[in-house]
Amino acid sequence: MDAFEVLLKCSLKTNFYITIMEQGKKFISPGAWFSIRYPENWNEFEDGEGSFLFYDPDVWSGNFRISAYKGDAKYGEDSVKRELRENKSASLVKVGHRECAYSEDTYEEDGETFTSYFWVIGIGNISVECSFTVREHDSYTVAEKIIETLDVRKEGMKYPAEIVPARLSEIYQINESFEWIAATVKEQLKKDFQGTEEDIVNMQMVVDSGAISPKKREAWLSLGIVLCVILCNEVDGLEWMSMIDGNREVPVLMNHTTGEWLDPMKLVWSKIKNGQPCNLTETYTDMGKSIL
């Protein structure tokens, strides 16, 4: 089982009712510049750098993209004015309580006609650009509903920690950790790594070999993440989420029934940096007791 298969089982579920509730899923951008809410049956998908893409993977009803750019104090306002000035098809409209520059473009692709709707929204020193692409004549109301939920966070303000559905940035981190552990076990022990409980013994052998320096924070964090991957793979009802707490933006494993969750950093690295021994089997057992 490769890393993608492991994560597919436990990362891209749609029942996030503990923290998302009736309004849909919440997305907080990397760096926590802004947040939006999007439909419960949609997911985030890979897009270009700095652009975030969302759509329903089962019944396609349109692609929603959002990007944000930061500048001086009036950058947002100036971006709207510039769009109205340079794009002759753009007009000033109101979405929710915000005015924005709006335009649309219809085109053909593979024999089908699509329409892309564009919005440029200025909020303080941030310009937010949104687009929604659908088949021609399909409704774009859902995009306006998403835009209405847009919240740009104020710089210097302390926000409470939040747990939201797993973002791609955290899923990538989980994948990278899994792949690194699998490659290290293969290199050190000449054994395959499947992401099951039996692999914890091999992980411990790598730890006991001294191959990982006590100063390699990311390596120890990877061990904690992979312990969570194994637990999620072995036990139903667990799912990956993203925790945003100030500058910390990390994956956490949650029991969506009880609301209990595990922070991978605290499982292994917190012990190592305090000079405590690392017993992965014992840690794994304690994890099950704390989250189930």
Backbone angles phi, psi at 116, to 5 degrees: -110, 130
Q: Where are the domains of the chain?
A: 33-157, 164-291
pLDDT of residue 117: 98
Q: What CATH number belongs to 33-157?
A: 3.40.1000.10
pLDDT of residue 250: 97
Buried b (16+ CB within 10 A) or exposed e, 236-265: eebbbbbbbeeeebbbbbbbbeeeebbbbb
pLDDT tens-digit series, residues 1-59: 444 344 444 443 333 333 333 479 999 999 999 999 999 999 999 999 999 999 999 99
Tokens of 176: 């990278």
List the one residue out of 210, 204, 202 whose CA is nearest residue 185: 202
Model pTM greater than 0.85?
A: yes
Q: Round the average pLDDT of the chain to a whole number and report it.
A: 92
pLDDT of residue 31: 95
- 164-291 classified as CATH 1.20.120.1090: yes
pLDDT tens-digit series, residues 69-121: 999 999 999 999 999 999 999 999 999 999 999 999 999 999 999 999 999 99
pLDDT tens-digit series, residues 135-152: 999 999 999 999 999 999
pLDDT of residue 256: 87
